[in-house]
Amino acid sequence: MLDRSIKIVYASKMVIVRDFVHTLLARMQESHPLIQTVLGPRQVGKTTGVSQLLDKVKGPTHYVAADDTLHASNRWIQEAWQEALQKGPGTILVIDEIQKIPNWAEVVKRLWDEQRKQPKLKLILLGSSSLSLQKGLTESLTGRFELISVFHWSFPESQKAFGYNLDTYLRFGGYPGADAYIKDYPRWFSYLKSSVVDTVVGQDILTHQTVAKPALFRQAFEILCSYPAQEVSYRSLLGQLQDRGNTDLIKHYIELYEGAYLFRTLSKYSARPVKIKSSSPKIIPLCPALYTLAAGAHALDDPDKKGHLFEAVVGADLLRIHGAQVYYWRDSSYEVDYVLFHEGRLYAIEVKSRRRRFLGGIDAFQKRFKKAKACVITMENYAKFSQAPLEFLTSVSVS
């Protein structure tokens, strides 16, 4: 639970120890853990969390970052490995932003396999580019690693650390480093755009991926930000780009932004997998601040826009549930905001802001899918839901 991850330091400074740090600490205490791979967006505390871990562990540690060196090569990994070995058996080696090293996976595989019979190092890899890292993991390191996902800051974390209410979180939440500037919107905008978005687009994507028409790719980011929790066809998205292209192009753009942890797209739920794959996407920005960045500080003064963003925030919470599959559902005039499938259980989830909405979609869905349970998330019960989404659904959903 989040409550156990909060510590008060010196009576005035609150420090968040995120849940993934507890997971890493437990695994580093094992005799021979697998490679621990920590993936997540930029500027959400991955490096800070690992630093907290290294302060807690007993025994030698060695931290290196690809950001700290220019023209890094795979030889750089070997040198870091050797330096860690010199500190003795059981040393924890942390390599940050490893996706920036060419052919990193092959080098790590060779070095890791050399110590299989007599393990000497414990290894933690950090990265902020899902596509680059997961390709190396699945192609070279199968069976050798465990994946730990780190997400943007949740509402409970932002509330405890900064005193956010829900309205503030919807406008500015997700990136803790931006909190210092929320009362100065131009400065907040500049920080988030330069330190997060431009860095992700320029370094994590365009430097490492083949992207046709980079100017259009940047434009696509703003377009995607404009449709929180809305179902939009690929053709409609493509029609807003200021150049010619095809639906494969916009699909590729979305895939790259998903790989950088900025968005997720949901498919329409169906009992037939073919229909799921062919549906129009529902766009979920993984951090509410991204919408404010694109739409402006006063966008949420519009109740409809605020309602869409609140729905998107609930969707992002659902996507954090380990092992869950998340969809939306529509049939003619009936719709359900989210359909969640987890360990054999099916949930139909309606999100209500202060706007009055017709809930007939849930009734229609439950008639079609007899085993589905229903739950309504409102701004009034959201705080409880956000603390433990799966526990909330399990405890309050009804047939």
pLDDT band at 11 (very low <50, low <70, confident <90, very high): very low
Mean pLDDT score across all residues of the chain = 88
Count up the domains in the chain and report the number: 2
182, 76: one domain:
no
pLDDT at 240: 86
Same domain, 301 and 351: yes
Domain that holds residue 32: 2-149
pLDDT at residue 332 is higher than 50? yes
Categorize the per-residue pLDDT at 378 as very low, low, confident or very high, splitting at 50, 70 and 90: very high
Q: What is the mean pLDDT of residues 63-87?
A: 84
Are 142 and 164 part of one and the same domain? no
Same domain, 85 and 179: no
- CATH code of 94's domain: 3.40.50.300
Domain end, chosen from 149, 181, 199, is at 149
Strand order of the β-sheet with 230-231 is: 230-231, 282-285, 263-266
Residues 98 and 11 reside in one and the same domain: yes
pTM over 0.85? The answer is yes
Do 301 and 197 share a domain, yes or no? yes
Q: Can you tell me the mean pLDDT for 23-34? A: 94
pLDDT at 5 over 80: no
192 and 337 together in one domain? yes
| Domain endpoint, select from 123, 149, 175 | 149
What average pLDDT does range 331-360 have in this prediction? 87
User: Is residue 52 domain-shared with residue 129, that is, in the same domain?
Assistant: yes
Q: What is the pLDDT of residues 123-182, one digit of tens each?
A: 999 987 666 677 778 788 989 999 999 999 999 999 999 999 999 999 999 999 999 999
Share of the chain above pLDDT 70, in %: 90
User: Cβ neighbours of residue 37 under 8 Å, at least 6 residues apart?
Assistant: 124, 125, 126, 127, 133, 137, 145, 146, 147, 148
